Amino acid sequence: MFRAKLMKPINPSIVPLTGSVVGFLRAAVLTLAVTSFTLVPDSFADERRSSEGRREPSAAAVANAANADPAKPNALPVGESLKKGIEYLLGQQQPDGGWGQGGGWRQNQTKGGGRVEGKDVEDPSDLGNTAVSFVALLRAGYAPAAGERREAMAKAFEFICRHVEKADENSLFVTPVRDTQLQTKIGTYVDTFLTGWALSEAKGKVGDDAAEKRRAAALDKVVKKIEKHQKDDGSFAGNAGWASVLSQGLCSKALNNAARSGANVSKMALNKDQNQNLAGLDVNTGAFTATVSGASGVLAEPSSAGVSLYREGAKLGGLWENAESNKTRRRDAEKVLADPAAPEPKKAEARAEVKKADGDEQAAQVALKAVAGKLGNAGFVAGFGNNGGEEFLSYLNVSESMKAQGGKEWEAWKPKMIATVTGAQNGDGSWAGHHCITGRTFCTSAALLTLLVDRAPAVKMTGVTLPATGTSIR
């Protein structure tokens, strides 16, 4: 168990980039804007972004965007980009403490399931968008316990806990809302997984002992719901969505972060989740192969919409999360092996734990190397072809894993990632999607989390020698 320290809210003047790097990024943005990462027109009519139906921004947000064109990309230096994005996100918090989608279509559950959009469509707060906003602001250094924006963060924490506490004990839902873009596009139970992640990251940052007990109890309830509905292959019945592999990856974040924060997460649940991360991955070569639902000996996987970036980014993120969690399991096993009084059955169990941790570490390493090898491919990085919330989440998955590993792969990806994300920012500080998840709340939060990846709680993975090539990745 660990207790996270409160961080000072981010100050763009001290973002850890040298002047030369900033200069490079400015040039890179201009170059990338006309090459690999140009936002192509969306030819899919049902995925076109609508600027209508957005909730009215706060007075502060209006003032910040007084002379800005929200639709125009705004390639700012990373520090300014973060500052404007955080100001925008804070300005969109609703009076109830939560966040809505931030515009775009909604699924109409009463009239045939089609989309509805326009200025009269309501955009109430929902748990998924609130949870991801809360995590982004935690990473930026804000917290309910103390400091700037304490009241706003406390209201967000209250919103999250209140919904979990009201949720029933039996279903996998933690919210009564059923029509959000997040649910439709990346999984019916995405709110549950995002909430588990948010409550894990909030450990030690919510206030006094009573608030901490409330956080822990809410997280335990979410974990129990996940474990109760988790299938043997690690997936979840009914977790449908256009690219539900992304919510499966968020489940890995929820379970592993919960385990590392001291919540009662069973080894079985973590192992089942790892089964999904490993599905379709050749642990010797790092090749990702398609899986066929129902094929003999092959796990059924959630949909990836045929987009390699979504599937491989989500699996890579899950493999990294599992490798982090295995560090504690490995340490416990090594203590047993070092204890001369430990009985042989315990030692045998410990040896199995170490062997599994080694295998999981190898899988994370080969997956990272495989994905790193594709990051120079504009088609792979472009995902669906233009930016949606799915792309920003995938950039986060890849970036967290690359940062944890470090080395030349991370150094090559970091400036490319920063240029891509800052180059897609709107003049009002937000990010918006051009297909599928178009709402500005999720897109802005995921973009900010990607730019803030240096603040993610991570431990560098150890080196592993790959049996197929004999190459040591460090």
Tell whether the model's pLDDT for residue 59 goes beyond 80. no
Tell whether the model's pLDDT for residue 99 goes beyond 90. yes
Task: Give the pLDDT score at 280.
Answer: 86
Q: What is the mean pLDDT of residues 423-447?
A: 94
Report CA Rg, the chain. Answer: 21
Of 215-219, 414-418, 419-423, highest mean pLDDT:
215-219
Any domain includes 67: no
Q: Name the more confident of 123 and 166.
A: 166
At residue 89, what is the residue type? L
Q: What is the mean pLDDT of residues 401-408?
A: 90
At 16, the pLDDT band (50, 70, 90 cuts) reads very low
CATH classification of the domain holding 170: 1.50.10.20
Any domain includes 229: yes
User: Range with the lowest mean pLDDT among 47-56, 107-116, 286-295?
Assistant: 47-56
Q: What is the mean pLDDT of residues 428-433?
A: 95
Any domain includes 66: no
Q: Name the more confident of 340 and 288.
A: 340
Any domain includes 302: yes
Which of 130, 147, 138, 64 lies closest to 95 in space, CA to CA? 130
pLDDT tens for 249-281 read 999 999 999 999 999 999 999 999 999 999 888
Tokens of 465: 């020698």
At residue 467, what is the residue type? P
Any domain includes 43: no
Tell whether the model's pLDDT for residue 218 goes beyond 90. yes
Instruction: Write down how long the chain is.
Output: 474
User: Range with the lowest mean pLDDT among 186-200, 299-313, 339-353?
Assistant: 299-313
At 30, the pLDDT band (50, 70, 90 cuts) reads very low
Tell whether the model's pLDDT for residue 34 goes beyond 80. no
Any domain includes 60: no
At 178, the pLDDT band (50, 70, 90 cuts) reads confident
Q: Name the more confident of 54 and 241.
A: 241
Tokens of 448: 């900010």
Tokens of 136: 């982004």
Rounded percentage of the chain residues whose pLDDT exceeds 70: 77
Tokens of 263: 């919540």
Task: Give the pLDDT score at 247.
Answer: 97
pLDDT tens for 81-95 read 999 999 999 999 999
Task: Give the pLDDT score at 455.
Answer: 75
Task: Tell me which residue range forms the domain holding 79.
Answer: 12-37+74-473
Tell whether the model's pLDDT for residue 24 goes beyond 50. no
Residues 6+ apart with CB under 8 A from 217: none
Any domain includes 45: no
Q: What is the mean pLDDT of residues 5-25?
A: 42
Q: What is the mean pLDDT of residues 454-468?
A: 44
Question: Within a 13 Å sphere around the CA of 390, how many CA atoms are in the beta-carbon half?
Answer: 36
In angstroms, what CA-CA distances link 210 with 35, 226, 263, 411?
A: 53, 25, 16, 43
For the chain, the domain total comes to 1
Task: Give the pLDDT score at 3.
Answer: 39
Mean pLDDT of the chain: 81
Q: What is the mean pLDDT of residues 274-290?
A: 85
C-alpha 155 chain-centroid distance: 22
Task: Give the pLDDT score at 105.
Answer: 82
**Is the separation of the CB atoms in 307 and 384 below 8 Å?**
yes
Q: What is the mean pLDDT of residues 12-41?
A: 36
Task: Give the pLDDT score at 317.
Answer: 95
Any domain includes 55: no
Q: Name the more confident of 455 and 259.
A: 259
| Global confidence as pTM | 0.81
pLDDT tens for 309-355 read 999 999 999 999 999 999 988 999 999 999 999 999 999 999 999 99
